[in-house]
Amino acid sequence: MPDYHDIASENPKLETRVITVRDLLTDPSLGLDLEVIQGQDSLDNEIRTPRIQKLGMALAGFTGDIHPDRVQILGGSESYYLKSLRLEDRIEAIQRLKNHNICCILITRSLEIPEELIQVCREEKIPLLRSSALSSISIAGLSGYLEKRLAPRMTIHGVLIEIFGLGVLLMGPSGIGKSECALELVLKGHRLITDDYVELTRRGTDRLMGSGGKVLKHHMELRGLGIINVKELFGISATSVSKVVDFAVRLERWNPDADYDRLGLERDAIEFLGVSIPLVAMPVAPGRNVATLVEVAARIHLLRQRGYRPLKIDD
């Protein structure tokens, strides 16, 4: 049998993602209504992590942990701290932000901005933004937005379908019958996510989200019939936009000399973007109803999640 740990997919394509401060200002989905106070010429500074950092510790003198590629927040606590300082101490505190290549600073709650901070941002070419939202709302909104935009992702050749609420990734060589299997599953009442092109995105440390491209959304290629629109043929309930990937099924041509698992004791796995998911190797041969077998595999997966083991002997 092939080593599935070495075959992550047919020609996977990895994408490195960054966004700029300008993206925060131009994307309405962020929903924070940001304004630029200073730094129009530095809006192409890059943000490379979804984690947010508050500037309180840095202003107090602990500058060793400043992460330049994170959005830095200056909220009520930091503002009150600066106001409590004498002028010369406030200037010294703000001067500590120099030489750290900070990508941008966000002032929350429409707070008054010290002129000394505006001057440092001007000298250091740091975009200085302001929002009327509370710090907690700003941090939650930014974290969610950046998590989605910066999540590691890759594209693979395959089909993603939702079966009994599970995201099932169908893999295998071209022409093995992935699309035909998915079509039969749709006829059984399950939902197509995407055919041929699957974009996988890592969410957190242990989840894979699968979705399709925008060009052939809800379409499927069937040899002999061409490209069909699943949504138009079978209705909106036959499709979905994205789904967490719960397990993968790799279709492969039947090899009479291969030693296939007949008891269900072995559990293979496959890894994408550092996330491991269960893998079922399913040989394809004349007379085998692959769609039904995939459906049964989904039922077995659901039972396993509840602790069921088919070969467990009852007391």
Distance of CA 230 to the CA centre of its chain: 25
The two structure tokens encoding residue 136: 């907690």
Question: Max Cα separation, the chain?
Answer: 84
Q: Is 279 helix (H, G, I), strand (E, B) or coil?
A: strand
Is 3 a catalytic site residue?
no
**168: three-class secondary structure by DSSP:** strand
- Catalytic-role residue among 178, 190, 191, 250: 178
Residue 168: φ, ψ to 5°: -115, 120
Helix extents (H) in 85-150:
87-95, 115-124, 135-150
301 is an active site residue? no
Token pair 């979905």 in the structure block, residue:
240
Cβ atoms of 129 and 105 within 8 Å: the answer is yes
Asked if 151 and 15 count as a contact pair (C-beta separation under 8 A), the reply is no
Q: What angle do CA 141, 143, 145 make, to 5 degrees?
A: 65
Beta partners for 220? 228
What is the rounded end-to-end Cα distance, in angstroms, of the chain?
35
Active site residue 157: yes
Catalytic residue, chosen from 153, 196, 243, 250, is: 196
283 near 173, Cβ under 8 Å? no
Hey, what amino acid is at 293?
L
Q: How far is CA 304 from the centre of its chain?
A: 26
Provide the token pair at 174. 């071209």
Catalytic pick among 262, 306, 314, 315: 262
H/E element, 108: none
Residue 223 appears among annotated catalytic residues: no
Please identify which of the residues 149, 157, 207, 301 carries the catalytic annotation.
157
**Phi, psi at residue 267, to the nearest 5°?**
-130, 110
Annotated catalytic residues are 157, 178, 196, 262
